[in-house]
Chains A and B, each alone.
Chain A
Amino acid sequence: MAENLDIEDLRAMLAQTLELPLAEIGDESHFTEELEMDSLMSLEIASNLESRYAITIRDTDFAQARTLVQLHDLVAAKIEERSAA
């Protein structure tokens, strides 16, 4: 069963993967321009999200989410899609 979605969990996941303090992961911090997320980190985060929330995230989906808030919205939409299916 997938865990419930909490933006703070996403923030912690980002901080761990990016090796940054939690405080540096702002709601609107840009993943690549401010947090220097590279494509390998993106892959790791997408993979972690897929396992944790039992969803499927395509590369093109992930590329649309460039901030924590956008990522939260993406994951929420994917969970909803899965529940509706």
Chain B
Amino acid sequence: MTGAHTSEPRRVALVSGGSRGIGRAVVVRLAQDGHDIAFCYHSRAEAAAEAAEEATRAGARVLARKVDVSDPAACQDFVTAAEQELGPVDVAVTAAGITRDKPLVQMDDAMWRDVMATNLDGTFHISRAVLQSFIKRRTGCLVALSSVAGVYGSASQTNYAASKAGIIGFTRSVAKEYGRFGVRANVVAPGFVTTDMTAGVGERTREKYLGQIPLRRFGAAEEVADLVAFLASDRAGYINGQVIGIDGGLVI
């Protein structure tokens, strides 16, 4: 299927963790903005099919693939397949993320490693794979999903916060290394956003969190996707190496 809404050539966006939550909203938004979409997902084939269908309805050609982002070879294969099927990648958004919350003294090695492997290693694997083409073409844009937890810390989330803080250092370093090649790299740090990841929060805890947010509501995944889409666009052409919070004023 080709882009129906514009005669301009469609750009190609690659999204990790695109079947659910913020990643899925990004898939749909970038498709609506005129991108063809390659996205990967870990396990929810049904949700991935729905996301693919939604992006297709928006006029995008779509490649959806099951990928374990902690596996470097699988990430490289995914990027290669995306480029073969859709053309050179213009934008990469790393949204694949998991939580395994526990107080540190109760956190076992697997909980630490699983979170670091998906969140931080996954960001590294996808970014490294797309950068090769970005450098050759002297253009490209990375948007990495971090979290307020990565900037300010979060009790019972030492693993998640460390992975998300790592993403900030990683992405800023990419910005410094590859700015000379016309590549931009930025970080989005959402606060509380209503997704599957935050769905298990109880009513009282939810009220407590809401009390800390000046806007008195959780964010929507679509609002984060709007920010990602802006950073991915030429309108953000001079924004590089930044960490943009989107948290309703939670952290001021």
Residues of A within 8 A of B (CB): 36, 38-40, 43, 59
B204 contacts partner chain A, Cβ-Cβ < 8 Å = yes
B: interface residue count bin? 10 to 19
Q: Is the CB of A39 within 8 A of B106?
A: yes
Contacts of A39 in B (CB 8 A): 101-103, 106, 156
- The answer to whether B106 touches A59 (Cβ under 8 A) is yes
- Check if B205 is an interface residue, CB within 8 A of chain A: yes
**Interface contact B204-A38, CB-CB below 8 Å:** no
Say yes or no for B202: interface residue by CB 8 A criterion: yes
Across the interface, name the chain A residue whose C-beta is closest to B155.
Answer: A40
Q: Is the CB of A36 within 8 A of B205?
A: yes
CA distance A38 to B208 in the complex (A): 13
Question: Taking the nearest CB of chain A, how far is it from the CB of B105, in angstroms?
Answer: 7
Q: Give the A-B pair count, Cβ closer than 8 A.
A: 18
- Residues of chain B touching chain A, judged by Cβ–Cβ distance below 8 Å, are 101-103, 105-106, 155-156, 202-205
> Which B residues touch A36, using CB under 8 A?
202-205
Decide if A40 touches B204 in the complex (CB within 8 Å). Answer: no
Separation in Å of the B21 CB from the closest CB of chain A? 21
What 8 pairs across the A-B complex have the smallest Cβ distances? A36-B202, A36-B204, A43-B103, A40-B156, A40-B103, A36-B205, A39-B102, A40-B155
Bound-complex Cα distance A29 to B156 (A): 24
| B203 contacts across to A, CB distance below 8 A | 36
- Chain B residues near A43 (CB-CB < 8 A): 103, 105-106
Contacts of A40 in B (CB 8 A): 103, 155-156
Q: How far is the CA of A82 from the CA of B156 in the complex (A)?
A: 31
